Chains A and B, each alone.
Chain A
Amino acid sequence: MSRSRVVISLVAVLIAIVIQTTVFAPGRIQPLGVAPALITLVVIAVAPQVESEYLLLIGFTAGVLMDLIGSGTLGLWAMTMTTVAYAAGRLKHRFPDGLVYIGGTVFVLTVASQLLFVLLGTLFGQGTISEPGVFWKILLPGVWNLLLAAPVFWVLGKAFRTRQSGWAV
Chain B
Amino acid sequence: MFLSLVAVGFVVATFDVRSSGDGASDVLREGTQSIFTPFQSGVDFVTRPVIGFVDGVSNLAGLRSENERLADRVRELEAQVQATGALAEQVAQLEAINGLAAPDQLTTVTARMNASGPSAFDNVRFIDKGASDGIVVGQAVVDEDGLVGRVDIVSANAARIRLITDPVVSVGVRVLSTNETGIVTGKGDGPLRLEMFRAKEAVYEGDRVITDGSRFPPGIAVGTVRKTADAEVGFVLRTEVDPAARLSKIDYVKVIVGWSPIDAGLGDDESTTTTTAPVTTTTEATTTTTGGG
Q: Measuring CB to CB, which residues of chain A are less than 8 angstroms from any residue of chain B?
A: 14, 17-23, 25-30, 33-35, 37, 39, 53, 56-57, 60, 63, 65-79, 82-83, 86, 114, 117-118, 120-121, 124-128, 130-134, 137, 141
Assembled-state Cα–Cα distance A26/B149 (Å): 15
Q: What are the 10 tightest A-B residue pairs by CB atom distance, in nearest-first order?
A: A75-B13, A131-B188, A75-B12, A79-B9, A132-B190, A25-B116, A78-B9, A68-B32, A74-B16, A137-B120
Binary A-proximity of B18-60 (CB < 8 A = 1, otherwise 0): 0000000100110011001001100110010001001100000
- Residue B286 at the A interface, CB < 8 A? no
Q: List 30 A-B contacts (CB under 8 A).
A: A17-B36, A20-B118, A22-B44, A25-B113, A26-B125, A26-B248, A27-B249, A27-B250, A28-B47, A29-B54, A37-B119, A60-B9, A65-B118, A68-B28, A68-B32, A68-B33, A69-B117, A69-B122, A70-B117, A70-B122, A76-B9, A78-B13, A82-B5, A124-B13, A126-B167, A128-B121, A131-B189, A132-B189, A137-B120, A137-B121
- Residue B78 at the A interface, CB < 8 A? no
- Residue B251 at the A interface, CB < 8 A? yes
Contacts A22-B43, A65-B32, A75-B13 supplied; 7 other A-B pairs, CB < 8 Å: A21-B40, A29-B51, A70-B117, A78-B12, A121-B121, A124-B17, A131-B190
Partner of B6, one of A18, A21, A82, A131: A82
- Residue B187 at the A interface, CB < 8 A? yes
Assembled-state Cα–Cα distance A78/B12 (Å): 9
Q: Measuring CB to CB, which residues of chain B are less than 8 angstroms from any residue of chain A?
A: 1-2, 5-6, 8-17, 25, 28-29, 32-33, 36, 39-40, 43-44, 47, 51, 54-55, 113-126, 152, 162, 166-167, 187-191, 247-251
Partner of A63, one of B9, B117, B250: B9
Name the prevailing secondary structure of the A interface residues: helix
Assembled-state Cα–Cα distance A115/B93 (Å): 56
Q: Give the distance to chain A from B239, nearest Cβ to Cβ, in Å.
A: 15
A125 touching B32 in the complex, CB below 8 Å, given contacts A23-B47, A141-B120 = no
Assembled-state Cα–Cα distance A17/B115 (Å): 10
A34 touching B17 in the complex, CB below 8 Å, given contacts A18-B36, A56-B2 = no
Q: Give the distance to chain B from A88, nearest Cβ to Cβ, in Å.
A: 12
Partner of A71, one of B36, B123, B187, B249: B123
Chain B residues within 8 Å of A86, by CB = 2
Q: Are A19 and B1 in touch, CB under 8 angstroms?
A: no
A17 touching B9 in the complex, CB below 8 Å, given contacts A124-B17, A125-B17 = no
Assembled-state Cα–Cα distance A164/B2 (Å): 28
Chain A, residue nearest B120 (CB): A137
Q: Give the distance to chain B from A117, nearest Cβ to Cβ, in Å.
A: 7
Q: Give the distance to chain B from A28, nearest Cβ to Cβ, in Å.
A: 5
Partner of B121, one of A18, A20, A21, A131: A131
A34 touching B120 in the complex, CB below 8 Å, given contacts A21-B126, A82-B6, A124-B13 = yes
Chain A residues within 8 Å of B124, by CB = 70-71
Q: Are A53 and B12 in touch, CB under 8 angstroms?
A: no
Q: Are A60 and B189 in touch, CB under 8 angstroms?
A: no
Partner of A128, one of B16, B115, B117, B188: B188
Q: Are B17 and A73 in touch, CB under 8 angstroms?
A: yes
Assembled-state Cα–Cα distance A45/B74 (Å): 50
Q: Are A71 and B122 in touch, CB under 8 angstroms?
A: yes
